[in-house]
Copies of this chain bind each other. A is one copy, B any other.
Amino acid sequence: MTITITAFERSPDGGMGLARDTRVRWALEEAGQPYEVRPVSFAAMKEPAHLAVHPFGQIPTYEEGDLVLFESGAIILHIATRHPGLLPQDANARARAIAWMFAAVNTVEPPILEIVTAKFTEGDKPWSKDRMPLIADRIRHRLGQLATRLGDAEWLDGAFSAGDLMMVSVLLRTRPSGILNEFPSLAAYVVRGEARPAYKRAFAAQLAFNTAQPAAG
Contact = CB atoms under 8 A, between A and B. Distances in A.
Interface of A: 51, 55-58, 66-75, 77-78, 92, 95-96, 98-99, 101-103, 105-107, 109-110, 113-114, 117, 121-122, 125-127, 130-131, 134, 138, 142, 145-146, 148-149
A146 B57 CA distance: 11
Contacts of A70: 99, 103
Contacts of A146: 55-56
A67 B145 CA distance: 21
A202 B95 CA distance: 23
B138 A71 contact: no
Contact of A122 (B109, B122, B134, B142): B134
A110 B107 contact: no
A125 B68 CA distance: 44
A106 B55 contact: no
B102 A56 contact: no
A95 B67 contact: yes
Contact of A66 (B74, B92, B99): B92
Contact of A106 (B51, B106, B121, B125): B106
A145 B102 contact: no
B145 A55 contact: yes
Nearest to A92: B67
A57 to B, nearest CB: 7
B105 A106 contact: yes
9 contacts: A55-B149, A56-B145, A69-B95, A74-B98, A78-B98, A102-B105, A114-B117, A121-B138, A127-B130
B148 A55 contact: yes
A191 to B, nearest CB: 21
A74 B92 contact: no
B109 A106 contact: yes
Contact of A103 (B71, B122, B138, B142): B71
Contacts of A102: 71-74, 77, 105
- Residue of A55, A57, A70, A78 most packed against chain B (CB within 10 A): A55
